[in-house]
Structure 1
Amino acid sequence: MRPVEFFYRSAFDLLCRIRRRALERGGHWEVICVRPWHLRILKSARLGTLFVLFAAVEDV
């Protein structure tokens, strides 16, 4: 994993594509938002219901 500084539309599309592929293969997908504003962006976009979101690695 590497840090993300900005969220672009393509980043949302990529997250959705990864989630879909994981579910199709019987897996799961979780997103760790180490910066509070990442978590706020995902929740405000109502993606908190689509993804399992965590605020820190220790929360997983």
Structure 2
Amino acid sequence: MRREPVPLARHLSVYEDRGHTVLELRGEIDIASAARIGPFLDRVTGRPGIRLVVDLRPVEFFDCSGLRLLYRARVRVLERGGQLHLVCTHPLTLRVFRVTGLARLLPPLPSLDEAVARSEAASGSL
């Protein structure tokens, strides 16, 4: 059952969807917003076995501070036996992921449904 996102900050909403924690980032993800998002992201990624989806579709601007957030989240989730999937459709953000190599480590998916399906397939839940 999907619930509407509950705003935690101007740039972040979190909700549960089919057994996954979904973090929806919005607006401009830069050094200032990353500083506010980081502590919350650390709390979420500290949970053992978390199934996390980071949804960047509402993001309008994404710089290297956002890349650091995602890379740190990926490392923390994998260290704790969890799964992390990324949803992104913005052409400029996708280009940043390809150029920096993050797309190889955290392949962007076009929809939340595809991210959840990929997670369920990886865990054998299908």
Global fold match (TM > 0.5): yes
Number of positions where the alignment pairs a residue of Structure 1 with one of Structure 2: 60
Deviation at 1:57, TM superposition (A): 2.2
**Identity of counterpart residues, as a percentage?**
37
Matches of 2:74 and 2:113 in 1, distance apart? 21
Deviation at 1:55, TM superposition (A): 1.9
Deviation at 1:58, TM superposition (A): 3.3
Higher relative contact order (CA 8 A, sep 6+): 1
Structure 1: 5+ residue runs without aligned partners?
A: none
- The list of structure 1 runs, each at least 4 consecutive aligned residues, that deviate by more than 6 angstroms after superposition, is none
| Aligned match for 1:37, one of 76, 92, 100 | 92
Question: Which structure shows the higher strand fraction?
Answer: 2
Matches of 1:19 and 1:33 in 2, distance apart? 15
Matches within 5 A, 1:1-60: 1-2=24-25, 3-60=58-115
Matches of 1:57 and 1:36 in 2, distance apart? 17
Matches of 2:109 and 2:95 in 1, distance apart? 11
- What TM-score do you get using the length of structure 1 for normalisation? 0.78
User: Secondary structure, in 3 states, of the residue corresponding to 2:60?
Assistant: coil
- What TM-score do you get using the length of structure 2 for normalisation? 0.42
User: Secondary structure, in 3 states, of the residue corresponding to 1:6?
Assistant: strand
Matches of 1:9 and 1:58 in 2, distance apart? 27
